[in-house]
């Protein structure tokens, strides 16, 4: 896993060990109290703010449509407006992975850049954030052609089509400088960090001059975690939201740099309830982002059930109506009322609350036909 050069040192990741007398709930709440105090930054610099996200931009979504959604979300009670994937694509295109790594907006879609959207959100009383996946570069981005050597090599010897090798100092420096530039130029309040990792790309072997091959995985992730620690220190008031792989990185090593984390892209009942239940065994509920109104959660279950499923975590929502079309008034009012209830009561108790899991055994629940 690691071959040290002469005089080189390495510190293993921190290990948290605790002794608890009691059952599962006592152990979970002791861990929550410990990690809140010792490991993680505040859930938000200003509290568990309600996030409204328009999701992946469609091919025809321009700045004016984004502003229209921002007005709708502000009326519903959103406190942070987030643009997800697609902001790097030219107007008329939506294949966001191919353009990832461009890290700039196309003039036809955002003629004045994302700072215009940020200023507009601020004028509505909301903060502003965007999605990015800095460790992945698409084949239509300039850096893809300029630095093919930065793309990782899989454990089978194949050059990656997308993934940045963070063990290469120049690649890691580029990633960090790009994130800083994006934060400052776009006047961001929140940065949503994704990383959809196939696994094998970071497990190739390389001789770093010692005469012995080592696996690159450990050095890669050390570079990644160190980058986010530096960025959090550099921008202490920024809200860093982790959403790697829809919940692929939720360990305490990454969470020391992130205010809260997406835990799964699966938002469909009954899985959404089981996922929220399971992730709060490990992380405090105010750190666990859950969603209503998007990502296929309309396939199963009622709108009310989806809202209730995320109200005891960090509430987020996506678009559940089309611009220019009549809204379902009962559905709209239920969303507005629920967001207000969350803001006025529930989130006030989340950062210090105790959590009790009445059905912690997933498989037993599923065998019994209940969630």
- Bridge-based pairing state of the strands 213-215 and 127-132: unpaired
Give the CATH number of the domain where residue 306 resides: 3.20.20.70
Whether the Cβ atoms of residue 209 and residue 227 lie closer than 8 Å to each other: no
Quote the domain boundaries for residue 283.
24-133+182-196+237-366
Which pLDDT score, from 0 to 100, does residue 202 have? 74
Total domains in the chain come to: 1
Rounded distance, CA 234 to CA 260, Å? 18
In a domain, 201, yes or no: no
In a domain, 163, yes or no: no
In a domain, 76, yes or no: yes
Q: Which comes out higher in pLDDT, residue 368 or 224?
A: 224
User: For the segment 267-290, what is each residue's pLDDT rounded down to a tens digit?
Assistant: 888 888 888 999 999 999 999 999
> What integer best gives the mean pLDDT of the chain?
91
In a domain, 223, yes or no: no
In a domain, 121, yes or no: yes
Which pLDDT score, from 0 to 100, does residue 366 have? 65
Q: Which comes out higher in pLDDT, residue 258 or 197?
A: 258
- Bridge-based pairing state of the strands 190-193 and 205-207: unpaired
User: For the segment 69-109, what is each residue's pLDDT rounded down to a tens digit?
Assistant: 999 999 999 999 999 999 999 999 988 999 999 999 999 99
In a domain, 251, yes or no: yes
Per-residue burial over 137-150, b if 16 or more Cβ lie within 10 Å, else e, is bbebbebbeebeeb
Q: Which comes out higher in pLDDT, residue 198 or 359?
A: 359
The percentage of the chain sitting over the pLDDT mark of 90, rounded to a whole number, equals: 66
Alpha helices by DSSP H, the chain: 24-38, 63-76, 96-99, 114-123, 142-146, 169-185, 217-234, 252-255, 271-279, 303-310, 329-341, 347-349, 362-367
pLDDT higher than threshold 90 for residue 124: yes
Residue 235, class by beta-carbon neighbours within 10 Å (0-12 exposed, 13-18 middle, 19+ buried)? middle
pLDDT higher than threshold 80 for residue 46: no
Tokens of 23: 């059952």
In a domain, 140, yes or no: no
Of 343, 344, 308, 304, the residue nearest 320 (C-alpha): 304
């Amino acid at each position: 896993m690691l071959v040290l050069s002469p005089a080189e040192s390495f510190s293993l990741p921190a290990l948290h060990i605790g002794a608890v007398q009691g059952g599962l709930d006592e152990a979970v709440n002791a861990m929550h109290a410990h990690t809140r105090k010792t490991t993680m930054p505040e859930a938000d610099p200003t509290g568990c703010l309600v996030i409204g996200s328009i999701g992946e931009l469609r091919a025809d979504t321009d700045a004016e449509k984004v502003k229209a959604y921002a007005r709708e979300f502000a009326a519903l009670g959103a406190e942070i407006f987030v643009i997800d994937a697609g902001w790097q694509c030219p107007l008329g295109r939506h294949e966001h992975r191919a353009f990832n790594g461009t890290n700039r907006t196309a003039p036809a879609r955002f003629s004045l850049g994302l700072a215009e959207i940020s200023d507009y959100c601020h004028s509505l009383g909301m903060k502003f954030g965007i999605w990015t996946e800095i460790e992945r570069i698409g084949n239509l981005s300039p850096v893809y052609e300029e630095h093919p050597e930065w793309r990782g090599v899989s454990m089978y010897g194949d050059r990656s089509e997308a993934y940045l090798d963070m063990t290469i100092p120049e690649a890691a420096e580029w990633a960090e400088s790009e994130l800083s530039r994006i934060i400052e130029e776009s006047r961001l309040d929140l940065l949503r960090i994704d990383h959809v990792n196939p696994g094998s790309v970071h497990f190739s072997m390389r001789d770093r001059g010692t005469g012995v091959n080592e696996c690159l995985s450990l050095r890669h992730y050390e570079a990644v975690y160190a980058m986010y620690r530096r960025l959090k220190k550099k921008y202490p008031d920024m809200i860093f939201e982790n959403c790697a792989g829809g919940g692929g990185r939720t360990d305490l090593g990454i969470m020391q740099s992130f205010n809260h984390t997406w835990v799964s892209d699966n938002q469909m009942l009954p899985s959404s309830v089981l996922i929220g239940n399971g992730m709060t065994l490990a992380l405090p509920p105010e750190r666990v982002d859950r969603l209503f109104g998007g990502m296929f959660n309309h396939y199963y279950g009622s709108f009310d059930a989806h809202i209730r499923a995320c109200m005891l975590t960090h509430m987020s929502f996506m678009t559940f109506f089309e611009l220019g079309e009549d809204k379902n008034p009962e559905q709209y009012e239920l969303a507005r009322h629920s967001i207000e209830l969350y803001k006025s009561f529930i989130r006030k108790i989340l950062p210090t609350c105790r959590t009790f899991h009445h059905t912690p055994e997933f498989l037993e629940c599923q065998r019994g036909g209940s969630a």
